[in-house]
Structure 1
């Protein structure tokens, strides 16, 4: 039994329990009616086809032979599964925290990394794509390949609570932030300014932390520029910020370790690629929330190429 469980996770990157949960939640949108001379493909098989695609990055033709279905069927299963995950599971598993949740997240960051009032870490990651027909130069990133940007905010446990995907790879992280819905949500100060704490005589609200690419804002903290003249206090601040931000890198590592599709230059159209990235982020949260085993060798060498 244990061996079967391990093999299932190795093949599909999710536990059997998580797989069944995903099937149950998306069944209403994925179930099909039997035809007079043809039985429909069961929901479990449709989900398995889509998850296999995202877990392995295999070609559609390969998956078609593996599961004994037509090429168009594989493509439709992936599309419909992603749409169902975004419609049903995204609102349940990737959502803006309320006041009690913010307090819980801030307590976690403070206890673990001594980062007061921090409720998340933000960063961007590049997802490889084939050059789109329209404005391909916009998607050509600084590393020399075409991509879309995945901007994400994670809590101290590495769970995504805000995800934005689709901006061209050429775009700077700071501009992606300003154009994202997260900017609108946080800029008025209402969400993160609800529960302030006295820090060195100043009332400070909750904040998220980012790398030097981001602007310094009331709700967004970044490291001091290291000019070689940092004070001991500034150096300690940078150290704690860097330590807390490591949770973001770990989250991206586990995301791409599980869903190897995110590492491949994909043959699918741009809009489907965006939906697949969103679906992978939702699946990441489900796996983490359910305590699914993560196989370390899945990490591979993702980090340098796709950050």
Structure 2
């Protein structure tokens, strides 16, 4: 993070984080408080190491991180993580079509595992890839995105005739998710795919890689998301949101990124569960397949 972006971040969070000296205690300066939190999020170091590095106690380091994440949720997240407006949807669709040749596509979706210590209560629900964990599709169905998009309240109705079908905006996904008019995924490779289906899968996968790259860059910089997080579940959620907002801030400020920071590439296994019969999205997928093979 450049000094310019650091100063911008400090000024952004100043209303919620700045403290005044008292007759009994000199407060930790704002820049140092922000530096505490950034170092913790960027390295995943223990609070003891963070406090030692900055010459402060463990409790001070812990408090600074909590206050930073709370301030970021209030002041930074709403600015950096928000649903696009109609004009932005048009820009995204045009960008994807110009770069990858997919019409009406506005993005891609995926999941990424963040290790934590399971809480004492209902700890079995936090076992990853075991009976208590959630399938990727279930996570999506419990999200606000699913609720809004299914009601037609998120993605604007902007259709285009493709292969004799009126196709609206859609998001790309992998085979773990359900097929919908606004969610398109590859054909499952059973070894008997047609040449047209193979072309469709190749072009979908080539475009979908953007979400994998985004997670890679996110975890490559904010490495607290890679190792097991020993904080409470509530604070972990706040830290994840904060890291996502910081990621967007750095991207918008043109901060540099080196490929050497990429986390080790390891495909995350998908919990195998029976998939429901898919009724929606088949006509749209077939129309797009014909378009990509024309």
Query: Which bin holds the TM-score, normalised by the shorter protein?
Result: 0.7 to 0.9
Deviation at 1:295, TM superposition (A): 2.3
The 5-angstrom pairing of residues 194-233 of structure 1 reads: 194-233=157-196
Shift of 1:228: 2.0
Would the alpha carbon gap of residues 263 and 181 (structure 1) be closer, same or farther in structure 2, given more than 3 Å must change?
A: same
What's the CA shift string for 1:213-272, capped at 9, x where partnerless?
A: 000001000001112222222111111110111001100000000011111112211110
Instruction: Kindly indicate whether the alpha-carbon contact (under 8 Å) linking 1:126 and 1:169 is maintained by their aligned counterparts in 2.
Output: no
Asked if the contact 2:137/2:177 (under 8 Å) is kept, the reply is yes
What do residues 29-76 of structure 1 show as CA deviations (whole Å, max 9, x unaligned)? 000111113221111110000000010111100111110111111111
Match of 2:234 in 1: 271
Distance in 2 between residues matched to 1:141 and 1:233, nearest whole Å:
37
For residues 1-307 of structure 1, the aligned pairs below 5 Å read 14-142=1-129, 170-301=133-264, 303-304=266-267
Q: Is there any run of 5+ residues in structure 2 with no aligned partner, and where? A: 271-294
Residue-pair matches, total: 270
Q: Answer whether contact 2:106 2:170 (CA < 8 A) is retained.
A: yes
Q: Considering only CA atoms, is the larger Rg found in Structure 1 or Structure 2? A: 2
How far is 1:23 from its partner? 0.6
Equivalent residues of 1:174, 1:213 under 8 A apart? yes
TM-score (structure 1 length as normaliser):
0.84
Cα distance between partner residues in 2 of 1:34 and 1:173: 48
User: How many Å apart are 1:122 and its aligned residue?
Assistant: 0.4
Q: 1:303 to 1:43 in 2, by over 3 A?
A: farther
Shift of 1:300: 3.6
Deviation readout 1:158-189 (Å, 9 max, x if unpaired) = xxxxxxxxxx9811110011101111121122
Calculate the TM-score normalised by the size of structure 2: 0.88
Change (3 A) 1:236 1:114: same
Higher relative contact order (CA 8 A, sep 6+): 2
Tell me, in whole angstroms, the C-alpha distance in 2 between the residues paired with 1:234 and 1:118. 18
SS in structure 1 at match of 2:109: strand
Given that 1:207 and 1:219 are in contact with CA atoms closer than 8 Å, whether structure 2 keeps it comes out as: yes
Tell me how far apart the structure 1 counterparts of residues 249 and 215 of structure 2 sit (CA, whole Å). Answer: 15
The separation in 2 between residues aligned to 1:175 and 1:305, in whole angstroms, is 16
Contact preservation (8 Å) 1:189, 1:219: no
Please name the residue that 2:284 is paired with: none
> Take 2:154 and 2:80, find their aligned partners in 1: how far apart are those partners?
19
Normalized per residue, the structure richer in strand is 1
Structure 1 gaps of 5+ residues are 1-13, 145-167
SS in 1 for 2:113: strand
